[in-house]
Structures are given as structure tokens and as C-alpha cells.
Amino acid sequence: MKKIYFITGSQDLYGEETLTQAEKDSREMVGFLNGKLDDIAAVEHTPIVKTAAEAEQLCIKATADEDCIGVIMWMHTFSPAKMWIRALQALKKPMLHLHTQYNEKLPYDSIDMDFMNLNQSAHGDREFGFICTRLGIRREVVAGYYKHEDVIEQLRRFAHAAAAVDFGKGMRVAMFGNNMRDVAVTDGDRVESEIKYGWSVNYYGIGDLVKIANEVTDSEVDAKMKEYADKYDMDTDNLDAVREQAKYEVALDRFIAKENISAFTDTFQDLHGLNQLPGIAVQNVMAKGIGFGPEGDYKTSALGAVMQKMAEGRKGSTGFMEDYTYDLTEGKELELAAHMLEVSPVFAANKPKIQVHPLGIGGKSDPARLVFDGVSGEGIAVSMIDMGNRFRLVCAEISLVKQPKPMPKLPVARLMWKIKPDFRTGAAAWIYAGGAHHAVVSTALTSEDIRLFAKMTDTELVIIDGKTDLNTFEQQLEMLDIKSRIKG
């Protein structure tokens, strides 16, 4: 079980009685918060911090503890902040500074100086905040009574994002083939991805998968076909084409388990030994929580796995999507997103149909794929690009909508959405920011989740939402360019 340390700051000037009470209060608060967060991570009480040495030891312990995904800091009393300097320099885990109190209301009738001495986070958290700011520490500050719903919601969001960052450390990403020839935006610096996020991205020959596929037995394919028939409508007579995909799925599952892979890419330019571009096979693997990026897009595949981790246990769907074409009816502009084949069935609004159609590119046999209309609701589209000297996340808020009319001749799964604040602004902002035609779309996460992830990983982020104004947005991009040059 992953855990979050709850660290309560004080000092040794207060005397036994106050410190005993502070310890007791902190323990009670941790018990409450653990009950609210323990489906994500256990909130673990730590002894109240009274000295610089204790602070340092605790932060070193949190940093070294493989199960610790983050820390929550709170100053119950005043805690002189020079005693936190070495501790904070040692801390390498995401931090949430919880600006709260043990008591919700002031006890107007009984308040005295003893009460004031014990309950002074208004004082102590400012001192602690100063030293964090002075040290340039990126942290999330949450202010409010710890039992209030909005505070708990923010703590849960922090825990989800911290879990996703932790998940990324050492995450293994497989690239079958390389980046699609000549494509710029899907390419990236894999060494930098590992330095920054811990994503270990490596190339495999498609032959490694072909070999496993050739060893898949007929009975394994039969079992997979039965699963397809139970879950989907078999809308084709070409069962051999579907069996081919079933074989690929079994092979992919086996490869993923063997190599401990969390995300992968393929490319239609390198399918030697496969008769079809993997369609249903990839669609089903995505629905099991594995990240995917087509055309060698390792950044989108890895980001997809991380965002699915962030969304664990939450309502909604998360997966790879590609910007394809538009309905540009004035004032009612809609985007149609899809891919050649690979759209995760987690986005299906209706029961997916298995169909077999030719593919315009790649020169392979007609691949079987799942075809369906997409879900509606509020969501985000997130793209990660490599700016040369840093990565950038572009996060757009979108409203997914029901497709206005059937598209009986479109042989792929699709989603439709409106970008915020309106097409003219949102689409232009995305293009100014350099956002890709590949993104991870989620109706489970919000731009707040991505903001937290970006903060914890020190990744540049631009958000396109209902308040976006192009002039301000372009100025923000200019400022970010200048900042990146100063940071070098």
C-alpha cells in the first residue's frame, strides 16, 4: 500500500503539555484523513516535529521510503522555519502544505492564551510558507478546515496526482518500430523523459511480437473470440480477420506481462510479419489500462498510462485520441476525433461493432476493428510536446457531444467535441501552443489534475479553458519561452 506522510510541525519551546496535546490532535486528524484517502494511499501519522534534526530525519525518511508518494505538511503551532531548511532541501517527494486548524470554530467564550499558543497555524503556516518560497519549492497549498468537502477533494486530487507521478518512476514503455518517418510532433527526447519522469522508453523489433503471436494456440484464439462475441456485436463474416486480431491481443498481453510494460507504441510503417495493423487487439489492450500511442508516439502512450493511473477509481473514460476533421458550421463548430483503428472502447456510448474494412495506407490485409459512437460530457484533451529544451503540456477543456447525425460509412470509432471557450479561440490557442494532433482525452480528469501533475513534475503547462483570451495566451507563451531560456 502506498502512503502519504502527514508531518506536523512545532518546536520544543512549548512544554510537555502543549506538545502532548498537539500530538494527540494531529493523530486524530490523520485518522480522519486516512478514512477519506485510503482508497488511494494510506495517510500515515509521524511524530510531531520539534527540532531541525527531527525535521531532517523525517524528510530523509520520506524521500527514501519507496512506498511514500508524497507528504502533507501542517504547522499546528509556530515552528521557526530555519529549522526546516535542511529538511526541505532533502525532501524529494511531492508536498502539499495543508493550511488548516484542529478546531473549526473559535471558542469565543473560553479562548485564552493557552488556546492561542496551541492553535496558531495562521502564524506558523506563514512562517513555513516563507521558507518554501525562499527555497523555491514547488508545492500545493490547500487552505481550509480539514473536514470540509472541498479540502478533502483537493487532498484526494493531490493523492491521485502523486500516485501517478510515483507510477511513472521506472515505468517501462515499449516502442514497436520507431517514430513515423518525417513526423515531428510525435518525436521526443527519450533520455529526457526518463530523467524527468522516470519513464524508461525502449525500442523492440516487431519481430519480438510476431514470434509470440506465432506461438499463440487455436484454443487461445477461440477463447478470445468468445470474449469478443460476448462483449461486442460481430458485424462481419470475415471471422478469419477477427481471429488474426485475437491472436495479436493474446500476444500483446503476453509481451506486456513478460516485459512489465505499461505503455507501448506501434507504427503502420513497420509491421513485418503481421498481416494486419493491430486494431481490436490494441483497442482492447488500451481498455485494460495500458497506454498507447500510434506512429511511434511514445509521449502520448506514456502520458496515457500515467493519466489512467491518475483516474483510477474515478468515473469516466481516459485514452488516446487523434484530431481528425471538423464540422465548421459557423458558431456550432465541432471536432470529429478518431484514428485509423485505435480508439479505446472505454469511450463507447453504444455496444461496439466488430467490422472489417480495408485500410487506405500500410498495404496490409483488411484489419478488424471496433466501431462505435463516443460518450458525451465534460473532459480534457492533453498533449505533451518536446520544445527542445523542455517538455510542454497543453491541456484543453472540451465538451464531448453526441454526434448530431449517424455516419454509416465511417468505419472507425469516433468522438465529437467542442473546444472551450469557442472554436476560433480554443483551436488557435492549441496551435499557437504547438499542441499535437495526438492527445490523451479524459472525462475522468480535469485541468486541475493536470495542473497538479505539471507542478509535481516541474513541467511547463498551458491550459485552454472557458476564460482563455488569445492575446493573453500568446503573451503567456512568450513569457514561458523567456523563462525557459533563463533556466537554461
Please classify residue 182 by burial: count the beta carbons closer than 10 Å to its beta carbon, then call 0-12 exposed, 13-18 middle and 19+ buried. Answer: exposed
Per-residue DSSP letters for 115-140?
HHHHS-HHHHHHHHHHHHHHTT---E
Q: Which is nearer to Mn ion, 125 or 322 (CB)?
A: 322
- Size of site (CB under 5 A) for Mn ion: 2
Per-residue contact track with Mn ion, 253 to 292, x per CB under 5 A?
A: ----------------------------------------
Nearer to Mn ion, 87 or 343 (CB): 343
Q: How far apart are CA 83 and CA 49, in angstroms?
A: 10
Radius of gyration of the chain (CA): 25
Q: How far is CA 348 from CA 20, 225, 233, 312, in A?
A: 55, 20, 13, 18
- Considering only residues 44, 322, 342, 397, which one is a binding residue for Mn ion as defined by CB under 5 A? 322
Question: Which helix (DSSP H) or strand (DSSP E) does residue 383 occupy?
Answer: strand 377-386
CB of 442 to Mn ion, least distance (A): 18
CA-based nearest residue to 36, from 74, 9, 77, 6: 6
- Cβ partners under 8 Å of residue 193, min gap 6: 199, 201, 298, 299, 302, 391
Q: Whose Cβ is closer to Mn ion: residue 177's or residue 294's?
A: 294
Q: What are phi and psi of 92, to 5 degrees?
A: -120, 30
Inter-residue contact 142 to 33 (CB < 8 Å): no
Minimum CB distance to Mn ion smaller for 45 or for 438: 438
| Rounded least distance, CB 80 to Mn ion, Å | 55
- The nearest distance, CB 301 to Mn ion, in angstroms, is 12
Residue 181 Cβ vs Mn ion, minimum distance, rounded to whole Å: 13
- Assess 342 for contact with Mn ion (CB under 5 A): no
Q: Smallest gap, in angstroms, from Cβ of residue 180 to Mn ion? A: 8
- CB nearer to Mn ion: give 118 or 396: 396
Query: How many CB atoms within 10 Å of residue 269?
Result: 14
Q: How far is the CB of 438 from Mn ion (least distance, A)?
A: 6
Q: How far is the CB of 401 from Mn ion (least distance, A)?
A: 22
User: In this complex, which beta carbon is closest to Mn ion, that of residue 294 or of residue 379?
Assistant: 294
Least Å distance between CB 279 and Mn ion?
Answer: 14
Could you give the CA distance from residue 233 to residue 283 in angstroms, rounded to a whole number? Answer: 15
Our CB check for Mn ion shows the closer of 300 and 318 to be: 300
Q: How far is the CB of 320 from Mn ion (least distance, A)?
A: 9
Tell me how far, at minimum, the Cβ of 342 lies from Mn ion, in Å: 8
Pick the piece of the chain touching Mn ion (CB under 5 A) from 11-19, 60-68, 315-323, 352-360: 315-323
Residues 6+ apart with CB under 8 A from 134: none
For residue 234, what are the contacts with CB-CB under 8 A and spacing of at least 6? Answer: 228, 242, 354
Q: What angle do CA 10, 75, 14 make, to 5 degrees?
A: 25
Interface residues for Mn ion in 45-74 (CB under 5 A)? Answer: none
* 231 closest CA partner among 286, 276, 280, 282: 280
C-alpha span between 453 and 156 (Å, rounded) = 13
Contact 278, 245 (CB under 8 A): yes
Closest to 83 (Cα-Cα) out of 119, 45, 54, 124 = 54
Cell output for 93: 517527494
Residues 132-171 that bind Mn ion (CB under 5 A): none
Q: Which is nearer to Mn ion, 204 or 324 (CB)?
A: 324
Q: Least distance in Å: CB of 457 to Mn ion?
A: 25
**Sheet-wide strand order for 200-204:** 200-204, 172-176, 263-265, 291-293
Tell me whether residue 337 or residue 375 sits nearer to Mn ion (CB atom): 337
Each residue 290-309 as x (binds Mn ion by CB under 5 A) or -, in order, gives: ----x---------------
Least CB distance from residue 211 to Mn ion, whole Å? 26
| Stretch 194-223: interaction string toward Mn ion, x if CB under 5 A | ------------------------------
190 vs 339 by CB, closer to Mn ion: 339
**In terms of CB distance, is 8 or 267 closer to Mn ion?**
267
Spatial neighbors of 329 by CB under 8 A, at least 6 apart, are: none
Q: Closest distance between Mn ion and the C-beta of residue 295, in Å?
A: 5
Distance, CA of 18 to chain centre: 42
Bridge partner residues of 355 (DSSP) = 369
22 vs 436, beta carbon nearer Mn ion: 436
The residue among 41 and 337 lying less far from Mn ion, judged by its C-beta, is 337
Summarize as ranges the residues that interact with Mn ion (CB under 5 A). 294, 322
